[in-house]
Structure 1
């Protein structure tokens, strides 16, 4: 039998934040799919993936909340830009 790794137990607050981050990522990707230009879609999805991966190591709840707020502002700007492009 192979070695089993034990995942650390996360708090309810960490679970909620993790869900919020995943939801934000999905929302951003949904809006990106509405961008008319396929090349821009690819650039934006790579940008989103990179941003989320670069910040995935954070464990401090305050820092995570700060990045969620930053992501929400980016999402709002992205939605505005997409609506103007249509």
Structure 2
């Protein structure tokens, strides 16, 4: 059986971090812990978290806080890697 390609891994990831009305401050520690366990984490930004900001901006801010990189954003979801 062959290994998944990177795009397949990203596609098959489940969302494990949800950003809600409490914003990215509330999930920074959780995301940091998950990135210590695995290299890719999928994050969903709910409407209450976005306010007047777009997903890309929030994802970049969150990734910066945990010394990571945004791999991709699609809709209201981002994949972050460290």
Report TM bin, short chain.
under 0.3
Between structure 1 and structure 2, the one with the greater Rg is 1
TM-score (norm 2): 0.27
TM-score (norm 1): 0.26
Query: Which structure has the highest strand share of the two?
Result: 2
Structure with larger RCO (C-alpha < 8 A, sep 6+): 1
